Chain A
Amino acid sequence: MLRSRSGTPSLGDIEQVYRSRFDEYRRVATAIVGDADRARDAVQDAFATAVRKRAGFRGEGPLEAWIWRAVVNTALNQLRAAPRELPGYDRNGDTPHEDADASELRGTLKLLPERQRLALFLRYYADLDYATIATVLEISEGTVAATLHAAHGSLRRRLEEVQL
C-alpha cells in the first residue's frame, strides 16, 4: 500500500500524498480530536510541517508513514491544547451523534489507553498495516500486535456486555 522513497521528498511528492490520502488522514485526525473542523486544521498544519521540514526526511521509511506521524502528533497536540469532554461527531463529521450505542462505543474508546486508541484508529480508519503503524507510533511491530490485541479484547468484551 505504501511506497518506499529515498532522499528528500519534493513538494510534488508531498502534494501527491496529500491529494491521494487526505481523507484517511482526516478520518483519523477527526477520531483523535473529535471535531471535524479541528481535524481538517490538524491535517493541513501537519502537511505544512511536512513541507517545511521535508529536508529532515531521510527515506528510512515510507513518506506516508512519516506524514502520518506528523498528522497524529499535530492532532494530539490540538486535543491536549483544547480537550473535548468526549470526542463525538456524526457521519458528516460536524455535530455530536446522539445514538446511544455509538455513545457507548465512544465512551469505551475513551477508556482505552491512548496508544490503543491511536493503533485502532490507524488500523481501522486508515487501513494501515502493523509495520506502518509501528513506524508512526515509533514502537515495534510486536508492540503494535499486542496493543491491538488488547484493544480488541477490551472492545469485544464491552460490545458483548452491551449486546447482553
Chain B
Amino acid sequence: MNEFDPALARELDRLAPASAAALDWNDVLGRAGHRRRPVGVAAGAVLVLVVALLATPALGIRRTVGQLLGVHARPHLRFVAELTPVSGTGSGTVTATPVSSFTHVGSDRTVGFTRMISVTVRFTGLSGPATAGRIRVTPPRGSSGTGFVVRLCGPCSSGTTVVVRRRGLILALLTGRGSAEIATAAHPEGELRGQILPSR
C-alpha cells in the first residue's frame, strides 16, 4: 500500500518546478471578494482619523482631541526655504503649509490619505522678472529614482500663493529632499535657491 518508487520520484523531480514562497494572502481574499481583515481596516481608519484631526486646525478641536487621547499635539507643520542668490543681491523665502487632509475609501476598500500644500513665494532684488518658481525634489539616498519637479508659478509675482498636491511631496520635504528656486531670464535654472526644511 502507498507504493512510492524512489527511482521514479527522482525522474519526476527533474520536471518539478523549484520551490516558491506563498504569495500574498490578501490577494486570495481579494479574489474571493472578501473584505480585508476588519482589524486592519479599523486600525488604519482610526489612525488616519486621529492624524487628520490632529493636523486640521480648521476644526478647532486639535488641542482638545490631543488632550482627550493623551497626545501632545505638535505645533502645526510648516516648511520654509530661505532663498539665496547664485549671483546678485536678491533674496526671498518660500513657505509651505499642509492645508487639508481627508480620508477616502477606494474601489478596493483601501483607506487613503491625501494632503495639499499651500505654498507662498516671496522675493526681492532679482535681476529681472521672475519667469518661474519651482520645488525640486531629489530621490531618496540610494534610490535609483529620478526625483520630480513641482511647478509653482510662471511668471511669478512676489507674494503669490498656490496650492499644490503631489504624492510624496510632504514626505520629501520632511526628509530634506526638497529645494525651491526662483528663475529669471538671466538664470533659468534659478537665480534664487534654497533648501526647504521643516520649521516650527
Closest to A90 in B: B17
State whether the Cβ of B162 lies closer than 8 Å to any Cβ in chain A: no
In the complex, what residues of B have CB within 8 A of residue A156's CB? 5, 8
State whether the Cβ of A149 lies closer than 8 Å to any Cβ in chain B: yes
State whether the Cβ of B43 lies closer than 8 Å to any Cβ in chain A: no
Question: In whole Å, how far is A161's beta carbon from the nearest beta carbon of chain B?
Answer: 13
In the complex, what residues of A have CB within 8 A of residue B21's CB? 22-23
In the complex, what residues of B have CB within 8 A of residue A106's CB? 15
Closest to A121 in B: B12
Question: In whole Å, how far is A28's beta carbon from the nearest beta carbon of chain B?
Answer: 10
Asked whether, in the complex, the Cβ of A52 is within 8 Å of the Cβ of B33, the reply is yes
State whether the Cβ of B105 lies closer than 8 Å to any Cβ in chain A: no
Q: How far apart sit A102 and B12, CA to CA, in the bound complex (Å)? A: 9
State whether the Cβ of A13 lies closer than 8 Å to any Cβ in chain B: no
Query: B68-92 toward A: CB 8 Å interface, digit per residue (1/0)?
Result: 0000000000000000000000000
Asked whether, in the complex, the Cβ of B3 is within 8 Å of the Cβ of A30, the reply is no
Asked whether, in the complex, the Cβ of B8 is within 8 Å of the Cβ of A152, the reply is yes
Asked whether, in the complex, the Cβ of A89 is within 8 Å of the Cβ of B17, the reply is yes
Asked whether, in the complex, the Cβ of A19 is within 8 Å of the Cβ of B32, the reply is no
In the complex, what residues of A have CB within 8 A of residue B17's CB? 26-27, 30-31, 36, 39, 89-93
Closest to B10 in A: A124
In the complex, what residues of B have CB within 8 A of residue A90's CB? 17
In the complex, what residues of A have CB within 8 A of residue B4's CB? 123-124
Closest to B24 in A: A44
Asked whether, in the complex, the Cβ of A45 is within 8 Å of the Cβ of B31, the reply is yes
Closest to A15 in B: B25
State whether the Cβ of A129 lies closer than 8 Å to any Cβ in chain B: yes
State whether the Cβ of B58 lies closer than 8 Å to any Cβ in chain A: no
Question: In whole Å, how far is A16's beta carbon from the nearest beta carbon of chain B?
Answer: 10
Asked whether, in the complex, the Cβ of A124 is within 8 Å of the Cβ of B23, the reply is no
Closest to A88 in B: B15
Q: Quick one: which of B1-57 are within 8 Å of A by CB?
A: 1-5, 7-9, 11-23, 25, 27-29, 31-34
Interface residues of B (CB under 8 A from A): 1-5, 7-9, 11-23, 25, 27-29, 31-34
Interface residues of A (CB under 8 A from B): 11, 15, 18-19, 22-23, 26-27, 30-31, 36, 39-40, 44-45, 47-49, 51-52, 89-93, 97, 99, 101-102, 105-106, 109, 120, 123-125, 129-130, 145, 148-149, 152, 155-156, 159
Complex A-B: 19 CB contacts under 8 Å = A11-B29, A31-B15, A39-B17, A40-B20, A44-B23, A45-B31, A48-B28, A48-B31, A93-B17, A93-B18, A99-B14, A105-B11, A124-B12, A124-B13, A130-B1, A145-B1, A152-B3, A155-B11, A159-B7
Please provide the 5 A-B residue pairs with the shortest distance between their CB atoms, ordered closest to farther: A93-B17, A22-B22, A48-B31, A48-B32, A51-B32
